[in-house]
Amino acid sequence: MEKLYWDDFEVGQVLNYGGMTISREQIVEFAREFDPQPFHVDEAAAAASPYGGLIASGWQTAGLFMRMLADNVLNKSTSMGSPGVEYLRWHKPVRPGDTLRVRHTVLEKRPSQNRPTLGLVKNRFETLNQHDEVVMEMVSIGMFLRRPAAGKDGAA
Amino acid sequence: MIHFEDLRPDVEMWFGPLTVSAEDIVRFARQYDPQPFHLSDEGARDTIFGSLAASGWHTAALTMKMMIGDPNQRVASLGSPGFDDLRWRRPVYPGDTLRVRLRCIDTKPSQSRPSMGIARFQVETLNQNDDVVMSFISIAMIARRPGN
């Protein structure tokens, strides 16, 4: 299958994908390594916190979103990474057993100023849970290869 | 423990260091960001990275690990609503040693919860050459000192 180039994304396009369920063990394993705040690793401390129970590190939610983006879009594309994220908000906690999916809206696109083979795409990514609540929202930029000009020699 | 009262603009803290291995990079990427340039040198060869490079989300998670893991500089964090203007400025490669500079931008009391305040921090992650590899503006909920 031909990969998606920068040229193939359309402003206004909405893509829906994902469906990953996160377990208690995954939440604790990630948090022990990267973000061992009590409400991410300790059931009793989490129950006593304002969150009322164990919740995933927001950085793990970002990682799970990234996994869904990579599996469903980037690995079928000419992705060259990302320069960054305009903003990210963690709107609601992610809890054990939650199933996450992504609503991906293409906001803008433009050619790269300094790399003629690349184009930039600005996207809004909303990560939703099984209750259709937005748990995380971000706007970020992706870099993709532009489709090489075909048939330059005029053969047609 | 660093509480909301201890923070004012220009308060600066350093965290780290932490060295990233190729194994760490690939292990994180397999789980959370399995793009070819985060999985092998081969997969990165014809990309702007040139050789195996860490997922930007891995760099972010390692930054959190350094900030949260220093027993001498514990911040009374109550979580975060998010961040602004995150930039992945340079790739992180195997063997890079990272550290974090945290600078308080501003603080304000919470309207709804008198036991805490909101602080914004400029977070910069640097490598062993003092290049900034990642930066963002963190928004954090910080507890006030009990009894105040």
Of the partner residues A50, A51, A88, the one whose CB lies closest to the CB of residue B83: A88
Least confident of A31-35, A86-90, B47-51: B47-51
Domain ranges across chain B: 4-143
Across chain B, what does the average pLDDT equal? 95
Query: Kindly report the CA angle at A110 between A106 and A114, in degrees rounded to 5?
Result: 140
In this structure, are residues B104 and B11 in contact, taking their beta carbons and an 8 Å threshold?
Answer: yes
In this structure, are residues B34 and B58 in contact, taking their beta carbons and an 8 Å threshold?
Answer: no
Confidence of residue B145 (pLDDT cuts 50, 70, 90): very high
B-chain CB neighbours of A142 within 8 Å are none
Residue B43 has pLDDT above 90, yes or no: yes
Confidence of residue A150 (pLDDT cuts 50, 70, 90): low
pTM of this structure? 0.94
Residue A63 to residue B85, Cβ atoms within 8 A: no
- Residue A77 forms contact with B (CB below 8 Å): no
What's the confidence (pLDDT) of residue B108?
Answer: 96
Q: How far, in whole angstroms, is CA B55 from its chain's centroid?
A: 13
Q: Which of A138, A141, A127, A130 is nearest to A17 (CA)?
A: A127
User: What are the tens digits of pLDDT across the range A75-130?
Assistant: 999 999 999 999 999 999 999 999 999 999 999 999 999 999 999 999 999 999 99
What percent of chain B lies above the pLDDT cut of 90? 88
What's the confidence (pLDDT) of residue A2?
Answer: 83
All residues at 6 or more sequence positions from B47 whose CB lies less than 8 Å from its CB, including other chains: A80, A81, B36, B37
* Disruptive mutation site among B45, B55, B83 for chain A (greatest number of A CBs within 10 Å): B83
> What DSSP string describes A121-145?
EEEEEEEE-TTS-EEEEEEEEEEEE
Confidence of residue A155 (pLDDT cuts 50, 70, 90): very low
Residue A89 to residue B81, Cβ atoms within 8 A: yes
All residues at 6 or more sequence positions from A156 whose CB lies less than 8 Å from its CB, including other chains: none
Residue A50 has pLDDT above 90, yes or no: no
Strands B82-88 vs B12-19: parallel, antiparallel or unpaired: unpaired
Confidence of residue B123 (pLDDT cuts 50, 70, 90): very high
What's the confidence (pLDDT) of residue B147?
Answer: 80
Confidence of residue A149 (pLDDT cuts 50, 70, 90): confident
By CB atoms closer than 10 A (0-12, 13-18, 19+), residue B136 is buried
What's the confidence (pLDDT) of residue A154?
Answer: 42
All residues at 6 or more sequence positions from A114 whose CB lies less than 8 Å from its CB, including other chains: none
Distance between A5 CA and the closest CA of chain B, angstroms: 14
What's the confidence (pLDDT) of residue B140?
Answer: 96
By CB atoms closer than 10 A (0-12, 13-18, 19+), residue A107 is middle
Across chain A, what does the average pLDDT equal? 94
Give the strands of the sheet with A14-21, arranged side by side.
A14-21, A99-111, A118-128, A134-145, A84-90, B82-88, B132-143, B116-126, B97-109, B12-19
ipTM (interface pTM) = 0.95
Residue A37 to residue B49, Cβ atoms within 8 A: no
User: What are the tens digits of pLDDT across the range B58-116?
Assistant: 999 999 999 998 988 999 988 899 999 999 999 999 999 999 999 999 999 999 999 99
Candidates 3.10.129.10, 1.10.287.610, 3.30.430.20, 3.90.870.10; correct CATH number of B4-143? 3.10.129.10
All residues at 6 or more sequence positions from B46 whose CB lies less than 8 Å from its CB, including other chains: none
Residue B61 to residue A35, Cβ atoms within 8 A: yes
